[in-house]
Amino acid sequence: MASRPLALDRDFISSRNRKAARELGADCKYLARTLKRKGIEFEAMLEGVRAFTVAVPSWGVRTGGTRFGSFPVPGQPRDLFEKLDDAAVVNQLTAAAPRVSLHIPWDKTDDPAAVRKHARSLGLGFDAMNSNTFEDQPGQERSYKFGSLAHVDAAVRDQAVALNLETIAIGRALGAKALTIWIGDGANFPGQAALGPSFERCLDSLRRIYRGLPRDWRLFLEYKPFEPAFYYTVLADWGSALMASLEIGERCAVLVDLGHHLPGTNIEAIVARLIRAGKLGGFHLNDNHYADDDLTAGSIQPYRLFRVFHELVLAGANPKKNFRPAYMIDQSHNVKDPIEALIQTTMEMQNLWARALLVDRERLAEYQRLNDALGAEMELKDAFNTDVRPLTAMARVRGDAAAAPLATYRASGYRSAKARERG
Ligand SMILES: [Mn+2]
């Protein structure tokens, strides 16, 4: 496929920015003044915001989201090239989503060189590859109905290991540097699976995959408490994932999906522990109300994501070994335009990251030394309650993206153009 120019016209974006420039300038001036009173430099914050980027999931540019079926929007991407086109729109408007995360076999390609070239023409690279052994594909020899990497039958495990090695091979050709593994292996009923041996089989399969991992790659283990197995899951929690990653090797780490925790779990504390262990691999960012709801990040519990980001900002200020988390979005919707949802998510993360940067870490530490619970909490809340939207808008403008990405997207007519073009 011939490479096309960027999805949205640059001049269209900059003309919209020019129209908003006066108001944005005034808002930034006001914010810079209030920040200065707290000893915070606006320009330094701007650089901090611009340094934060996330990866867009290839499965997030189409509707999905429920087990009960999906309701496509007009002009959905029909192949991987078109998925990249849509992902490029998110990056063009936010300047914060320059990578895409693929799922194999959903995104299986016979011509990774062409895919890589197309991505590069759009200004995109590739983040962690994801392998899918949690559902059967047409023509597949052996079924994953009763598991994959931890299956009782060695032949099924072989097939699942092979799929992961193939995923690495495709990712290598694309320039990716990590593999994320999530498996649904487990049991729906007590007695169905032997708890000890199933974990051993999982470890054994992971070791085989790790042996096929290129030296400059990392392996991320993504845990999840339940679903599709509703009684027992092999990699159910960060304890199991950490234990596995410690046994597998130096380049194996844990991936935290925000939606993969039981209600009330203190995720920021898990993040702090994984940082200490040098085993925080990355994130699947999303939000949830009940379980693995894959809702737009920050839509339900923005304060929770802010607290997670605060731990990451703290760790970044005083880096520990192996601290370079991969930030990836993992969400899928039925009721929002998928591109709009990804833009909204990316903007929400820019805002929450900016607010986490505003925490006065020395003052917070002083409150903590004094056991001043109220003072410490208010230090966090003060940052969280700051309206940083002018700051993140200016960060986008500096990156040649849009001051107001959602309004710009809607005004661009991209969706209706694609509906006509793609049918
Ligand atoms: Mn995930």
pLDDT digits (tens, 9 = 90+) for 280-292: 999 999 999 999 9
- pLDDT tier at 2 (50, 70, 90 boundaries)? very low
How close is the Cα of 130 to the center of ligand 1, in Å?
9
How close is the Cα of 330 to the center of ligand 1, in Å?
5
Q: Which amino acid is at 283?
A: F
Among residues 110, 124, 116, the alpha carbon closest in space to that of 166 is found at 110
- Identify the pLDDT of residue 240: 98
Judged against a pLDDT cut of 90, whether residue 41 lies above it is answered with yes
Q: Which amino acid is at 2?
A: A
Q: How far apart are CA 192 and CA 198, in angstroms?
A: 11
- Identify the pLDDT of residue 320: 81
How close is the Cα of 155 to the center of ligand 1, in Å?
26
How close is the Cα of 182 to the center of ligand 1, in Å?
8
Q: Which amino acid is at 314?
A: L
Judged against a pLDDT cut of 50, whether residue 3 lies above it is answered with no
Q: How far apart are CA 299 and CA 301, in angstroms?
A: 6
How close is the Cα of 329 to the center of ligand 1, in Å?
8
How close is the Cα of 109 to the center of ligand 1, in Å?
22
- Identify the pLDDT of residue 71: 87
Low-confidence winner among 67-81, 159-173, 305-319, 323-337 (lowest mean pLDDT): 67-81
Whether this model's pTM surpasses 0.95: yes
Q: DSSP character for 219?
A: E
How close is the Cα of 309 to the center of ligand 1, in Å?
18
Residues 136 and 99: beta-carbon distance below 8 Å:
no
How close is the Cα of 197 to the center of ligand 1, in Å?
25
How close is the Cα of 14 to the center of ligand 1, in Å?
35
Judged against a pLDDT cut of 60, whether residue 1 lies above it is answered with no
Judged against a pLDDT cut of 90, whether residue 68 lies above it is answered with no
| Average pLDDT for the chain | 96
Low-confidence winner among 41-50, 66-75, 260-269 (lowest mean pLDDT): 66-75
- Identify the pLDDT of residue 64: 77
Q: How far apart are CA 415 and CA 209, in angstroms?
A: 40
Residues 346 and 87: beta-carbon distance below 8 Å:
no
Among residues 8, 2, 14, 5, the alpha carbon closest in space to that of 122 is found at 5
How close is the Cα of 257 to the center of ligand 1, in Å?
5
What average pLDDT does range 107-123 have in this prediction? 96
- Identify the pLDDT of residue 205: 98
Sheet hosting strand 99-101, strand order edge to edge: 103-104, 129-131, 178-181, 218-222, 252-257, 280-285, 326-329, 55-57, 99-101, 125-126
How close is the Cα of 282 to the center of ligand 1, in Å?
10
Residues 282 and 325: beta-carbon distance below 8 Å:
yes
How close is the Cα of 331 to the center of ligand 1, in Å?
8
How close is the Cα of 165 to the center of ligand 1, in Å?
20
How close is the Cα of 283 to the center of ligand 1, in Å?
8
How close is the Cα of 222 to the center of ligand 1, in Å?
7
